[in-house]
Amino acid sequence: MRAIIDTDPNLARVLQLAERIVPGLRGEQSDVPLPDALRHDDGIADGATALRALCRHWAQAHGAAGAHYVALRCWGLAIWQPVYLGVIATHLDTHVPRLAGLAQPVVAGFPAGFRLPIHAPATGDLSTRMRLAADELRTLCQATREVLMPLVALHPRAADRLQAECVLGALLLVRRQQPARPDAELVALGAGWLTQLGIAGGCGFFAYRARDGTPALALDRKVCCHHFRRPDGEKCSTCPKLPLDTRIARLLADPS
């Protein structure tokens, strides 16, 4: 009889934390394979299967929005869960998960949670955790990009910028859990993350005044996702195609 392997308590805590911060970020630890899931460390032939299906879904659903929309949509969907997991774990816990073996089941064109092999996550001080998490993410994102680029019109610079945007978006969520953190410190942390990931300058923050007059930060995006090209789409509130004053006005009008 095969012995039952206990789950790791530190990994369990990190996964519970991530789901609490981002309810859709549902992770589990198991050594049981997930068929037809997105994997980032398979060989090219195996790893391309799920990504090819993801690309086919979005090309069929919104191909009229153009090749750049489909490419950036698939790239962002493939990497956002591991990026958010790594950033949240680094800043809000003491342990950072390893991403080897990460699998993301896809439901109706969207990665729906993820599974990690049972393992003891790495630990250390903040700078060590950032380095460890950046190493994991750099490996995962590079492997994903190598499989995805032959399938869609993914421009390397646009991919860098969307990845950077994802990292800084995760940092803004961390900021909500640490509201006393000074803006200048968050900006410096963001720059540190992007430097370690090799995508420095891919995104930034801009400062504005919230409706109550308090200082606030928003993403200073450097790439357009082309969502506005969909029949049901429009420019995001912080779309780089919009003038800065329009972006701020949209942020102030947002009820959330």
- Residue 220: what are its φ and ψ, rounded to 5°? -95, 85
Q: Percentage of the chain surpassing pLDDT 70? A: 95
Whether the CB-CB separation of 96 and 131 falls below 8 Å is answered with: no
Residue 255 is predicted with a pLDDT of: 76
Residue 169 pLDDT exceeds 80: yes
* pLDDT(43) > 60: no
Cα gap 251→183, rounded to integer Å = 18
What is the pLDDT at residue 100?
95
Each residue of 153-166: b (16+ CB within 10 Å) or e? ebeeebbbbbbbbb
Query: What distance in Å separates the CA atoms of residue 172 and residue 178, rounded to the nearest whole number?
Result: 10
Mean pLDDT, all residues of the chain: 93
Residue spans per domain, the chain: 9-253
Cβ atoms of 109 and 28 within 8 Å: the answer is no
- The arithmetic mean of pLDDT across residues 191-208, rounded, is 98
Distance CA 35, CA 226 (A): 31
Any idea how long the chain is?
Answer: 256
Mean of the pLDDT values across residues 58-75? 96
Q: Which two tokens stand for residue 28?
A: 């589990």
Question: Measured over all CA atoms, what is the biggest interatomic distance in the chain, rounded to whole angstroms?
Answer: 66
Which range has the worst mean pLDDT, 41-50, 171-180, 227-236? 41-50
Residue 5: pLDDT band (50, 70, 90) is: low
pTM for the model stands at 0.95
CB-based contact 24:30 (threshold 8 Å): no
Residue 224 structure tokens: 């357009």
Tens of pLDDT, residues 77-100 = 999 999 999 999 999 999 999 999
Instruction: With beta carbons less than 8 A apart as the criterion, state whether 162 and 99 touch.
Output: no
For residue range 214-241, list pLDDT tens digits in order: 999 999 999 999 999 999 999 999 999 9
Q: What percent of the chain is modeled with pLDDT above 90?
A: 89
- The string of pLDDT tens digits covering residues 89-128 is 999 999 999 999 999 999 999 999 999 999 999 999 999 9
